[in-house]
Structure 1
């Protein structure tokens, strides 16, 4: 299934074809492709080159590790994410290594790293679905994440599946058209809320 962006201006084909499916194929992801995704994340830009991103990875071939990560997701996300062969948590280090001061750019930088990972996945025929629906405290406890680090998002990765494997409510969601705010709603110049376009 494809859901290309209905873009007004030219964009790269990888961006145009990227979307966040709910239906994943249980087909395992080749280890070299997983390494490629994480390598792409590794080369993201970051404030002072701090690279404040960390990733917790679980694949279905290790059922104990996989179930541990899956158990951190809210039930509604577990429903469909259980088929994704790769689950990841992104984690941000909230202070700079260089001086231990707060790094207010850490979440931005983790997002950029995951953006790299997402486009790399798209280039390999894989899809990524990021989730905010997870239990942060359970995640922190189960993985012994230190206080200066924050779980940012849960991420499901895999080859596209068949929509028929989803419940009716999720099929409706999967089939719904993609939408984005128009550029004039969020691109300003001169003063706040004065559209650039």
Structure 2
């Protein structure tokens, strides 16, 4: 397997786990280490949220299960090219209103924090994560019979890093492309 150094060329010192985190598409089709999956989900559980509402829900689907196949069926064609090799697909869901119907305007933000915590814990434990917006949220909600207050926001591929050389040419090129981010001066509007 060809190992590619994907360490981000940061302008300032940041935590190594953040600098090394990236979103690969090459996954080794192996069973998930259940202890590492549990740690990633525990990290998500302890994420901060407004009023401690914890408005995140996850459908955790292991490869080879019906739930996994339902998530794959909701993916955009491009993501179906690589995501089925992941050990786990997680449908990340925001609880946009509580059981009494009161809206939670920060639900999607809070879910994002939970997925970020999951991502960093997984990476620190040697797993890789790729978050996808390319999926049919309505189809996923129907597939899992979700209440209308539960909004699918993203699908997360989680597993072990695979060999990028086994991807098709277009995906392989993306896997090796230089990492880039907008400069801080462009993302900070006032300081």
Segments of structure 1 that go 5 or more residues without pairing to the other structure are: 190-195
Which of 1 and 2 has greater Rg?
1
Cα displacement string for residues 58-101 of structure 1 (whole angstroms, at most 9, x for unaligned residues): 111x432221221111111011001101100100011245x642
Cα displacement string for residues 101-147 of structure 1 (whole angstroms, at most 9, x for unaligned residues): 21111000000000000000011100100000001111011100111
Question: Paired residue for 1:36?
Answer: 39
Moved over 6 A (4+): none
The offset of 1:155, in angstroms, is: 0.5
Report the 3-state secondary structure (helix = DSSP H, G, I; strand = E; otherwise coil) of the residue aligned with 2:178: coil
The offset of 1:2, in angstroms, is: 2.7
TM (norm. structure 1) is 0.92
Question: Paired residue for 2:159?
Answer: 158
> Comparing 172-181 with 27-36, which one deviates more in the overlay?
27-36
Segments of structure 2 that go 5 or more residues without pairing to the other structure are: none
- 1:74 and 1:184 map into 2 onto residues whose CA distance is 34
Question: Paired residue for 1:91?
Answer: 93
**Aligned CA-pair RMSD:** 1.2
TM (norm. structure 2) is 0.95
Report the 3-state secondary structure (helix = DSSP H, G, I; strand = E; otherwise coil) of the residue aligned with 1:44: coil
Equivalent residues in 2 for 1:68-107, closer than 5 Å: 68-96=70-98, 100-107=101-108
Question: Paired residue for 1:122?
Answer: 123
